[in-house]
Amino acid sequence: MRLLFIGDIVGRSGRVVLSEHLPKLRQAWRLDCVIVNGENAAGGFGITEPILADLLDAGADCVTLGNHAFDQREALSFIAHQPRLIRPLNYPCGTPGAGATLLETANGGRVLVVNLLGRIFMDALDDPFAAGAQELAACPLGAGCDAAVIDFHAEASSEKQAFAYFVDGRASLVVGTHTHVPTADHRILPQGTALITDVGMSGDYNSVIGMEIEEPIRRFTRKTPGLRMEPAGGEATLCGVAVETDVRGLALRIAPVRIGGVLSPARPDFWD
């Protein structure tokens, strides 16, 4: 199975680069499933229903969220009737929406997508390790699903890497999101789970993690309240990770994807 995960869409520039490239990538790479993190898609903070529709229309099969899941208050209502939009599974019981979904691909494959939120340097939520293990046990790789992708949205690299080893052999891909800076450690773990500690953002990298430069600098230097941070609006880089799985749902190949903007380009050579 051919899987593509696209990192955190930040503002309009991130949405533009997604809509420009994803339809062509789906066709050229014959992708079975595309997952997009959209928690920063609406002005850098949260997601709206029209923006969700745009991401799905561009070719996303599922959109994951994170700690900004409900920054746009309308998400509290529309997430309940949007099965392809998921928020972190380990939010407290009673939070609107679902934390996992089972997608059916065009060729009849089944892809389990799970969204989890880390706890180190983040709001203390329920245990993501226990929540993830429970979901994988309920829909095991090779029996309940043909591939399992986990978006682990967290600040600490150690927590993301520890979780990947914790589920090694039980998931196809653990992809770290949230820090908006792509890491160079994409690899396949000993039991067959692909990992990248952070996939990076899809946004303008002439910025401070996607935001216009002036206000973050002012906050660091002055330590006083200021203006609302705004997403940078220059040419964006589409950042993602491509994974191909075997008949067991374990990873055969993994490669970074970087298209456009100021970052060095990268594409999977095994799909050319």
Angle at which helices 128-138 and 157-166 cross, to 10°: 30
Closest CA to 2 of 255, 215, 208: 255
153 is catalytic: no
Closest CA to 128 of 169, 99, 97: 99
Closest CA to 60 of 7, 97, 96: 7
Residue 251 — φ and ψ, nearest 5°?
-75, 135
Dihedral sign computed on CA atoms, order 79, 82, 87, 90 = positive
Q: Token digits for 155? A: 């600040």
Work out the burial of residue 2: count CB atoms within 10 Å of its CB; fewer than 13 is exposed, 13-18 middle, 19 or more buried: buried
The label of the residue with tokens 């995960």 reads 5
Residue of 68, 153, 178, 186 marked active site: 68
Is residue 168 within 8 A of residue 193, CB to CB? The reply is yes
Catalytic residues, by residue number, are 68
